């Protein structure tokens, strides 16, 4: 779902394209409802300080999202530690994602329609977005999947309806009588070649999206093993390998491999 994902205690070292698009800086107002039958829904509105459509006021709330879903603990089937969850979300302007916001450290300046911009910020036509989410758990096994994509072109370039998706599975077990888990995931994105390309010519690098182009993967594999080593202390090992889109300056893709260890303390 679209919204704030930030957690100061467990930051995301590896964000999937779907999460990058779905995450926003802040939510000004949220209203929701949950029923006894498992159905739920919510709506949120926020100022969206990233980019705004032509002619709009900087101080107005100009972005909103809505979500509907269904959650079931599977009690009727007597499933231990089980549940299913499905959600469908919509956002008015996908440019409101956290990565594109000027509130993000190192935020770049947009150049499209810069001559009519206000306060030095550029105005970009909004592009609506859609998010699909599903997760499932049964005993020690769990999995979830996400898709986030633009419903409209995000630039003048053809095939600029950018999308991201991921599928993840996790299994919990014991390692030397310690709680542990092993997880695998795949991440994909599509229609991302236009990032970093100038709207004037495909041979010129556009600073407005070049850093996004450098980190967004065309596909990425992620594996993780975690074990509880002491009371309230977990040790996790993460491995990731992915492939980028072709760079404008050199029409070749680049492979990246990452390994990290993370020690979590809970108190």
Using CA atoms, how far residue 36 sits from 33, 39, 84, 118, 238, in Å, is 10, 7, 15, 47, 39
- For 185-235, the pLDDT digits (tens) are 999 998 877 766 554 444 445 544 555 666 788 999 999 999 999 888 999
- Give me the pLDDT at residue 101, please: 62
Lowest mean pLDDT among 85-89, 112-116, 156-160, 163-167: 112-116
Q: Got the DSSP string for 28-89?
A: SEEEEEE-TTSEEEEEEEE---S---TT--TTS--EEEEEEEEEE--GGGT-TT-EEEEEEE
Residues 6 or more apart in contact with residue 70 via CB below 8 angstroms: 38, 39, 40, 84, 85, 86, 87
- Give me the pLDDT at residue 228, please: 94
pTM over 0.85? The answer is no
- Give me the pLDDT at residue 57, please: 54
User: Domain coordinates of the chain in residue numbers?
Assistant: 17-265
- For 53-74, the pLDDT digits (tens) are 445 555 556 788 999 999 999 8
Q: In this structure, what DSSP letter does residue 201 have?
A: -
- Give me the pLDDT at residue 97, please: 80
Residues 6 or more apart in contact with residue 42 via CB below 8 angstroms: 30, 31, 32, 33, 66, 67
- For 106-120, the pLDDT digits (tens) are 444 444 444 444 444
Q: How far apart are CA 41 and CA 126, in angstroms?
A: 24
69 contacts 87 by C-beta, under 8 angstroms: yes
Q: Is the pLDDT of residue 174 over 60?
A: yes
Nearest to 194 by CA among 176, 212, 178, 181: 212
Classify residue 43 as exposed, middle or buried by CB count within 10 Å of its CB (0-12, 13-18, 19+).
middle
Q: What percent of the chain has pLDDT over 90?
A: 39
- For 12-25, the pLDDT digits (tens) are 567 888 888 888 86
- For 234-258, the pLDDT digits (tens) are 999 999 999 887 765 556 667 889 9
- Give me the pLDDT at residue 109, please: 45
Please state, rounded to an integer, the average pLDDT across all residues of the chain: 78
- Give me the pLDDT at residue 24, please: 80
Q: Is the pLDDT of residue 34 over 70?
A: yes
Question: Chain centroid to CA 232: how far?
Answer: 28
Classify residue 50 as exposed, middle or buried by CB count within 10 Å of its CB (0-12, 13-18, 19+).
buried
| CA dihedral sign, ordered 136, 7, 130, 254 | negative
- Give me the pLDDT at residue 13, please: 63
Q: How far apart are CA 109 and CA 124, in angstroms?
A: 12
Quickly state the pLDDT bin for 41 (edges 50, 70, 90). Answer: very high
Quickly state the pLDDT bin for 4 (edges 50, 70, 90). Answer: low
**Residue 114 backbone phi and psi in degrees, to 5:** -65, -25
């Amino acid at each position: 779902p679209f919204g704030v994902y930030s957690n100061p205690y467990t930051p995301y070292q590896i964000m999937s394209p779907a999460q990058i698009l779905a995450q926003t800086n802040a939510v000004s107002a949220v209203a929701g409802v949950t029923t006894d039958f498992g159905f739920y829904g919510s709506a949120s509105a926020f100022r969206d300080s990233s980019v705004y459509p032509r002619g709009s006021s900087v101080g107005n709330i100009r972005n909103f999202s809505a979500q509907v879903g269904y959650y079931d603990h599977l009690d009727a089937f007597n499933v231990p530690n089980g549940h299913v969850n499905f959600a469908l979300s919509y956002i008015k302007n996908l440019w409101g994602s956290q990565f594109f916001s000027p509130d993000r450290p190192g935020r770049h300046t947009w150049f499209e329609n810069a001559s009519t911009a206000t306060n030095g910020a550029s105005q970009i036509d909004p592009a609506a977005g859609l998010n699909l989410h599903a997760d499932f758990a049964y005993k020690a096994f769990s999995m979830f999947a996400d898709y986030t994509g633009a419903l409209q072109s995000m630039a003048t370039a053809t095939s600029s309806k950018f999308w991201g998706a991921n599928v993840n599975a996790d299994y919990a077990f014991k390692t030397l009588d310690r709680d542990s888990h092993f997880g695998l995931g795949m991440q994909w994105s599509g229609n991302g070649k236009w990032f970093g390309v100038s709207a004037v010519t495909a041979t010129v690098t556009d600073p407005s999206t070049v850093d996004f182009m450098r980190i967004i993967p065309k596909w990425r594999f992620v594996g993780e093993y975690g074990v509880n080593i002491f009371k309230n202390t977990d040790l996790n090992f993460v491995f990731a390998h992915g492939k980028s889109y072709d760079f404008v300056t050199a029409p070749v893709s680049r492979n990246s491999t990452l390994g990290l260890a993370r020690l979590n303390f809970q108190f």
